[in-house]
Structure 1
Amino acid sequence: MYTHLPDKQTLENLQAAFIQTLDAAQTPEAITQIRNDFLGRKDGKLTKILRQLKTLPEAERKAIGMQANAMKKTFEDALQEKLDQLGKKTVQKVWIDVTAPGKKPNIGRLHPISSMIQHIRRIFEQLNFDITNGPEIEDDYYNFSALNFQKEHPARDMHETFFLPRKHVLRTHTTATDIHYLETRKPPIRMVTIGKTYRRDADLTHTPMFHQFDGLMIDEHISMAHLKGLLHIVMERLLEARLEVRFRISYFPFVEPGAEFDVTCTLCRGEGCVTCKGTGWLEMGGCGMLHPNVLKNAKIDSEKYQALAFGFGIERPLMIKHKVSDLRIFFENDIRFLKQFDL
């Protein structure tokens, strides 16, 4: 606080101190500090002088007041000019080599499962199949009863199901979509459903949510020979390899006869390895001739028409194709793993 009334000499001394301090400032932060020291609303040195003007004799007040106000404007202009100079100096220090190669941006890509789904879609589109999907929440009728699962049939125990209120379930197979589709169309039919399914299962080769593709072909005189030929073509295109195929008799409530469909192991070429458990064969999924009861439930004449049916997981051929041993890693979203796939 000034102890004497401001006069011309006081202002000149203040101006000299301001110039000296400003010349020494080399950063924007220093400029801010100088502004607070000299022009701060509460403790600024020039601000204090302006407050004392009212104590001066009237004859001096006008002259000192004009000089002090002019000095305030000079200080503000000088501070801004210095700040601009420091900003230009900072920009000048940034050197850019315009001839240097640019940094390659990280480009997104399809998830391996999404890519496999697109691959499957293309295969069946080329075979003139209609691609469809249905609700993931089904009632008991479409998920079980319409597919020849009787009320107390032990085959229901094959599916560890996620049950929901009002007798609804998360669909345990994409086959549940078949009846929806058949209710609105008449033979001849070629259709494949691709989508998510849900079961209470989790280990190296199973997850609670997984993907399936499930197909039907309905026409007169359809046989197991058509089924074998169709699946042979599909699997060779899917795995991008020459394959031998075989049927193994199996049971599924919605097909009769039913079979497991196997292909030669793509890792050992049929010689036997750990992946195929020494058999030389890899199990791909279930298939067979659609049960007449299922055709009747869809109001299709089972005496006139026959239907082949198949249902395979999507993750399994993906694991085989890329030699991945643990299915769960596809759902962990580890970018280091996912970026390895050149899809």
Structure 2
Amino acid sequence: MVTFEPVFTHPAANTLALDFPDSLYSVDQLATVTSVAQLVPSLIASLTNSDTDANAAYAPRLAAWADRACVRRYLASYLWNVPEAIAKLKASLQWRLEVKPDLIDPAEVEPEAESGKGFITGFDKKGHPVAYASQRLDNTATYDRCLRFTFFIIEKALKLTPKGIEKISIILDNEGVGVFNAPPISFIIQFQGIAQFSKTKSPRTSHYPGCLESCIIANPGWILWGLYSVVSSYLDPAVKEKIFFVSYTPVVPAAAESAAAPVVSSAGGWGSYFGLTSSTPTPEAAAAPADAKAVDSGSWSSFFGGLIGAGGESAAAASSEENTTGTGGWVSLDSLIDAEFLPSAFGGKFDFEYNHKVYWERISAI
């Protein structure tokens, strides 16, 4: 029977392995965590904000966020470079003071959620909450609001982590993504620059270090490979190794299809209408040699590939093992998420269907 209720509580939360047990760290490292944690009140007091009353009112929330576990994540992510970790922690505290991602009004970002393009339900095999994002359902006209909706989902997912779990998993569903519904590169880079879940080799600060268990890219077509070839150069190696690629046969509910932005077919979106073939591999093709993964070189993807570097032969090269070097590579979804938690639309046994009214009431209450 179809259910509209998402799963926000792990039934075996007390048996899950901890993400960051103290036994992983030396006595000196744990002492460093303690000493840096003692600096948090002074870091908060040094933040700048034109609204001093708002600063004072939000300070307790900042202190609660920058707890011992948070300090440990920053130190570990910045390789125990104490001055750098402190500087990055202060930058994140300043960002949270200005953006207040944990206080984003659900009413502000609800228009982004109505299509069902982004939601949380269930857990991966290690007990991390899973957030799903389906680009084919994207109906945004305001990318600033879309970015805030993304942070809204991340913050809610982190609140759903069982005790001792500090990471989340993300599934980026690219089925049906074509030329006209792919996110702009500027948006992706802006999001990556703020939300990168580990230390970054660029001057930008990561505001969620140590909080990513895995980023699962599902059914990557030639558009995705083009975007990935650009964005991957900005990714920290510690983040890149947590990226996995999967192939699955989607089951899209009729209600979701009707609510989505115009999509001609679930296999290729508007790209199908214009003759663009999807390079989404079958499980067999995903495991095949690189030269077996090429899209039809006679399709329009060859033309657009000349513009964005992701069509025809270039798409085949992009999906090769060489271009997934440093990532988790190709895997199966059921190797990462138990079938009981995986929605049936993604090939699992959980017969969950997104119902906005039910879901939004549940997620807003967290």
Q: Same fold (TM over 0.5)?
A: no
Question: What TM-score range do you get, normalising by the shorter chain?
Answer: under 0.3
Bigger Rg over Cα? 1
Which has the higher relative contact order, 1 or 2, with Cα contacts under 8 A spaced 6 or more apart? 2
Give the alignment's TM-score, normalised by structure 2: 0.24
Structure number having the greater helix percentage: 2
